[in-house]
Amino acid sequence: MHMADALLSPAVGGTMWAATAATTVYCSAKVRQSLDDRKVPLMGVLAAFIFAAQMINFTIPGTGSSGHLGGGLILAILLGPYAAFLAIASVLTVQALFFADGGLLALGCNIFHMGTIPCFFAYPLIYKKIVGDHPSRARLLTGSLLGAVIGLQLGAFGVVMESTLSGISELPFSSFVMLMQPIHLAIGIVEGFVTAGIVSFIWQARPEIIEKAAADQPIGTLSIGKILIGLAAATVFTGGILSWYASEHPDGLEWSMFKVSGQEELKDTDGLHQSLKNVQGQTAFLPDYNFKGSKEGDSGRLGTSTAGLVGGFTVLLLAFAIGLILKKRGSAGHDHAHDHSHPHHH
Amino acid sequence: MSRKIDQAFYDIGHLDILAEGNTPLHRLDPRAKLLTTVVFILTVVSFGKYEIARLLPFFLYPALLIGLGELPFTFLLKKVLLVSPFVIFIGIFNPWLDRQVMLQLGPLAISGGWISFISLLLRFTLTIGAALLLIATTGFGAICMALERLGAPQVFTVQLLLLYRYLFILVEESIRMMRAHSLRSFSAKGRITYQVFLQMLGNLLLRTIDRAQRIHMAMLSRAFTGEIKIVRQFRFGYKEACFLGGFGALFLCLRLTDLTALLGRLVLGITG
Amino acid sequence: MSHHIVEVKDLKFHYPDQTPALRGVSFKIRHGESVAIVGANGAGKSTLLLHLNGYLSPVEGQVRIGDYQLTPETVREVRRTVGMVFQDPDDQLFMSTVFDDVAFGPLNLGFTAEDVTDRVEKALATVGVSHLKTRPPYRLSTGQKRRVAIASVLSMSPDILVMDEPSAGLDPRARTQLIDLLRSFQHTKIIATHDLDMVVDLCERTIVMHDGQISADGPTMQIFSDEKLLAESCLEKPLRLQGCPVCSCRDSSTAIGQI
């Protein structure tokens, strides 16, 4: 899921943006150095491919719900981590601007979850390690599944961390985790299968593409630091899974979660609240840590007073009026010579 | 997040056309608009979570832009609403988890949770709206160039342009593929099975890789040596400075003072 | 001066999987000539064209463009001289506006921004699409795209124009406009095409290819009168040379307007 501006504080958003900007500069330099000028058009059209592919839904066998491709891992396999990062970052940028997916501040976070994590964690540390230089069907599937699942878990965890640290949402850390991780486990499994499926398809049809891509990125260049990060990530993930198992599964919550990933209606509100309280109490993961901004301290500072609301609404009405007046003036004032040609379908 | 593919195609095309409008706002240097948007978003997002009244004046910015840019309000509103589910889903927990009453409006007791939820929605509308307005008044190509002038790496901005150029083609190809599929499938809704999906994407991917090769060929034929260069004339002048400076000052002012309370008291005072 | 001569000597080429594509092709084209290359699909036309700007390298044989023997060192110079227009305009219009696409070549050649703008405007005017300068490619019709693709090559001031199926997919009017446009060019033109009627209008010389070799090379009308040659090369006469549309209709029972 995409992070949203509305849930971010400037500090958290800004930090993630700084990290993403630095990664973008680094990857751009790497791609430029690579001397393979075929990467330029390939990055562009593969990004377009992922963009279009994300909009094609298919029914997941056995469940009836629909799934689609995220694309981070598959781009990393085909392009290598640096070019893949730039490709994904570009897709997310277009989506943020045209589809309002999350927002511009959150773009830094989203690129981190869906770009940095698949390209620099999941791909080199999991997929490549499993698949190696000579792919086989089984290793492809294992590598893709683990890579996708772990990558998505880390990404979902990132969303939770960012929201909690920003403090705009009231969701306590543990509840948020319990909500996000299982959904993303499912999404990760789907992504893993789809990635493996497509890569196998290509491998059968045109094996030289996969073999060349595999040869381009030898594994021997990893540093200790990266391996440590990988271990830490795996620990976090395992801790999440264990805490999930440790808590009872309130059936109402699980069912709601799956329904929610497709639709927005929430059933059984009181039951849900009660279940969340149970989960909150029983979870073993970081039990004493309470990230929530302390409400007790806040009660004195009331950001909203009656006078403030009246003033606010007055300005709102004013704004609306100004907007309307300007528009009316503009359209009366000059010709509308629209000579836009429409897309030609041949 | 899933979306209807042809709706998406239409939306991007429509925003593109809106961006070609010929108002003074459209003609401003894109860097001014981009920077103003960034300042706007950062300011809005910096408010505490219980702020509502002080966020409301920020609607002046979208109002002015929609007015000056002659943009379609309903179209933009619909796009904002379309992406609200996730934020609503997260935010709706606030009223349950935060029940301490914070505001008494006559007989109505409003809890902190509801206040923060409404604040969240306002934040969301403002930030998302600002991004849409940016693209609707500036156009994607111009934004890419602005990014480059502001320091983004050239490899990345070229990548953005290439993506933008080819996403229409890829989306069209996907639509054709899905249409062909639904014409041949016998289920009423034309749902795509997992197997078929893999085949479709696999084929599309192969064709795309081949296309990349042909594009590369075309690039080489026009003396491509690895770096795509672009000529753009941009002027960041007086108008742009006024735009950025003016709005920047407004946002800062609204952030640091409580003009709305003042105004409210005035209004209440007048109405007795 | 051997400026604009295109000379190919005993060119042989096969694909990595050893499928032979060209089995010894030789010809010489002089400055200002308009030459059509015709043949069935798979005869090797496109492969031959790709050798003319160095995208493909011959396995055996030589290619000479003007003063340059085509080698990896001279490839860049050759690409200044030989402007190639491919079949699918969407593969060639890869920038986000028409202006940027037409400016791509000259910018790569190192011209200044003013020179580039100048060249772009001239090229756009030549093909008649100046009003489309800021249009993104996805909002162009096929005919417009083809013209922009030609402009994108013209802006580099090539001496030789090589084109692969320029009239494919065009509606009748766009096709006529294209033919008129090409007729106005002074460049040496090498056009691979299935549109034999366009060849009659445009090219005084025709090279017929079949199975990786040249089966004929001579004046267009002479070649199109030789039915045996055409049949052997899996071709037919251009439509306009196929005689009366009523009485020479293949299946006389479906002839229109039978008297």
pTM comes to: 0.81
Q: Is there a single domain that holds both residue B126 and residue B34?
A: yes
DSSP code of residue B193: B
Contact A346 C142 (CB under 8 A): yes
Please tell me which chains touch A, using 3 or more CB pairs under 8 Å as the contact test.
Answer: B, C
pLDDT confidence bin for C250, thresholds 50/70/90: low
Q: List chain A domain ranges.
A: 5-246
Q: Is there a single domain that holds both residue B37 and residue B144?
A: yes
Closest Cβ–Cβ partner in C90, C95, C117 for B169: C90
Contact C55 B217 (CB under 8 A): yes
Given the DSSP bridges, would you call strands C160-164 and C82-85 parallel, antiparallel or unpaired?
Answer: parallel
pLDDT tens column, C41-76: 888 899 999 999 888 888 899 999 888 888 888 888
Contact C138 A341 (CB under 8 A): no
Q: How many Cβ atoms are within 10 Å of B135's Cβ, its own excluded?
A: 23
Closest Cβ–Cβ partner in C80, C113, C136 for B223: C80
Q: Is there a single domain that holds both residue B157 and residue B190?
A: yes
**Best residue in C76, C132, C141 to probe A by mutation, most A CBs within 10 Å?**
C141
pLDDT tens column, A13-23: 889 999 999 99
For A5-246, CATH number out of 1.10.10.10, 3.30.1320.10, 1.10.10.60, 1.10.1760.20 equals: 1.10.1760.20
Q: Is there a single domain that holds both residue B51 and residue B117?
A: yes
Closest Cβ–Cβ partner in B97, B198, B261 for A308: B261
pLDDT at B272 (0 to 100):
54
- Nearest-by-CA chain B residue for C77: B223
Contact A312 B192 (CB under 8 A): no
Contact C95 B140 (CB under 8 A): no
Contact B41 A104 (CB under 8 A): yes
Strand, helix or coil at C256? coil
Using CA atoms, how far residue C23 sits from A310, C4, C14, C28, in Å, is 86, 25, 8, 17
Q: Is there a single domain that holds both residue B158 and residue B146?
A: no
Interface of B with A in 231-270 (CB under 8 A): 258-268
Contact A43 B166 (CB under 8 A): no
Strand, helix or coil at C191? strand
- Domain span at B203: 153-234
DSSP code of residue A285: S
Residues of B in contact with C88 (CB under 8 A): 214
For residues B16 and A341, give the distance between their C-alpha atoms in angstroms, rounded to a whole number. Answer: 12
Three-state secondary structure of C123-184: HHHHHCCHHHCCCCHHHCCHHHHHHHHHHHHHCCCCCEEEEECCCCCCCHHHHHHHHHHHHC
Measured in Å, how far apart are chain C's first and last C-alpha atoms? 60
Q: Which CATH architecture has domain C6-92+158-254?
A: 3-Layer(aba) Sandwich (3.40)
Residues of C in contact with A44 (CB under 8 A): 94
pLDDT at A233 (0 to 100):
53
- Nearest-by-CA chain A residue for C136: A343
Contact C135 A41 (CB under 8 A): no
pLDDT tens column, B108-162: 777 878 888 888 889 899 999 999 999 999 989 889 989 988 889 999 999 999 9
Q: Is there a single domain that holds both residue B146 and residue B157?
A: no
> What's the domain count of chain B?
2
Q: Is there a single domain that holds both residue B203 and residue B158?
A: yes
ipTM, 2 decimals? 0.87
Q: Calculate how close chain C gets to B232, using CA atoms only, in Å.
A: 9
pLDDT tens column, A262-277: 333 333 334 444 444 4
Residues of A in contact with B198 (CB under 8 A): 194, 197-198, 201
**Best residue in B144, B145, B170, B214 to probe A by mutation, most A CBs within 10 Å?**
B170
Q: Is there a single domain that holds both residue B21 and residue B33?
A: yes
B172: Cβ contacts below 8 Å, ≥ 6 apart: A345, B9
Residues of B in contact with A345 (CB under 8 A): 172
Q: Calculate how close chain B gets to C56, using CA atoms only, in Å.
A: 10
Q: How many Cβ atoms are within 10 Å of C82's Cβ, its own excluded?
A: 26
Contact A28 B154 (CB under 8 A): yes
Q: Calculate how close chain C gets to B10, using CA atoms only, in Å.
A: 13
Q: Is there a single domain that holds both residue B101 and residue B228?
A: no
pLDDT confidence bin for A252, thresholds 50/70/90: very low
Contact B218 C105 (CB under 8 A): no
Residues of C in contact with B168 (CB under 8 A): 138
Sign of the C-alpha dihedral computed for residues B175, B180, B183 and B184 taken in this order: negative
Higher pLDDT, C251 or B168: B168
Contact B230 C100 (CB under 8 A): yes
pLDDT tens column, B47-97: 888 888 888 889 989 999 998 888 888 888 888 888 888 788 878 888 877
